[in-house]
Structures are given as structure tokens and as C-alpha cells.
């Protein structure tokens, strides 16, 4: 039975710069607290105690992925688009090409996303 790809398979053959972007993403996530991985053909997803909250796909010269937040991120060159889904959440799709883009602002977005993974978004009123 095919178990799907592994993190190692996603990173195999990627340039060191892309592996460094992935490593930084995981480092920022680890600063938020414990999480688990769910790796499948569409992404490397990281999950909190309640749900998945972020995911990444290493590209040939970039790292793209998503952050589940309780808001759409205001215009930022790293954010390709934001879309509402479920009653309280937005998925924010990002693309980064340098470690400089994974700054304090990006770390804050990931921390907010981590809170979604814990289910904190269920404590407030629905958005729509």
C-alpha cells in the first residue's frame, strides 16, 4: 500500500536555499509549541492538538504553503491570496524565496496559525 511521500522525499534534490527555507519554517513552528506532521501528495501539513494549521511545499527556488488564520492577511508580497473557508477561518497562501522574508511578521502569522491548530478560533463568534 502506497503511504505517500515523506518529508525527506519532498526535500530530496532541492537546492540548499530551499531546504534552509523549509528548516526555518519548521524552526518558527517549533517556537510556537509541539505539533505533528501529516505528509501527503499535496503538502507537508503541520497539525496542532485540534487540527492542521499550516502546510508547505518546497519548490525549485521557493517555499510555498498556507497558513490558516482567523483573518485574511492584508496585502503583503509574500501572500499570493487569501480565501475565507469554514465559518471562522481564512486560508492565506504564501510564497517565500529568501530567509529574510521569514521575519518577525511571518513568525507572528505562524503563531496565529498555531493558535488555530489548538482550536482557539472556536472560542469566539463566527465571522459570517
Comparing CA positions, the residue from 26, 79, 75, 84 lying closest to residue 55 is 26
**How many domains would you assign to the chain?**
1
The domain that contains 26 carries what CATH number? 3.30.1460
Q: pLDDT, tens digit, for every residue of 21-75?
A: 999 999 999 999 999 999 998 899 999 999 999 999 999 999 999 999 999 998 8
Cell numbers found for residue 128: 459570517
Residue 43 lies in a domain: yes
Residue 83 lies in a domain: yes
Structural domain of residue 45, as residue ranges?
Answer: 7-119
- The pairing of strands 79-85 and 36-39 is unpaired
Residue 128 lies in a domain: no
By residue count, the chain amounts to 128
Residue 105 lies in a domain: yes
Q: pTM higher than 0.75, yes or no?
A: yes
Residue 2 lies in a domain: no
Residue 124 lies in a domain: no
Amino acid at each position: 500500500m502506497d503511504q505517500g511521500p515523506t518529508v525527506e522525499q519532498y526535500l530530496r534534490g532541492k537546492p540548499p536555499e530551499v531546504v534552509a527555507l523549509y528548516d526555518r519554517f519548521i524552526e518558527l513552528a517549533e517556537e510556537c509549541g509541539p505539533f505533528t506532521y501529516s505528509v501527503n501528495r499535496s503538502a507537508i501539513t503541520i497539525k496542532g492538538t485540534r487540527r492542521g494549521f499550516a502546510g508547505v511545499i518546497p519548490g525549485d527556488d521557493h517555499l510555498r504553503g498556507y497558513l490558516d488564520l482567523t483573518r485574511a492577511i492584508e496585502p503583503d508580497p509574500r501572500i499570493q491570496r487569501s480565501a475565507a473557508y469554514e465559518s471562522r477561518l481564512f486560508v492565506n497562501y504564501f510564497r517565500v524565496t529568501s530567509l529574510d522574508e521569514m521575519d518577525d511578521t511571518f513568525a507572528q502569522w505562524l503563531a496565529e496559525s498555531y493558535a488555530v491548530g489548538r482550536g482557539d478560533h472556536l472560542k469566539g463568534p463566527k465571522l459570517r
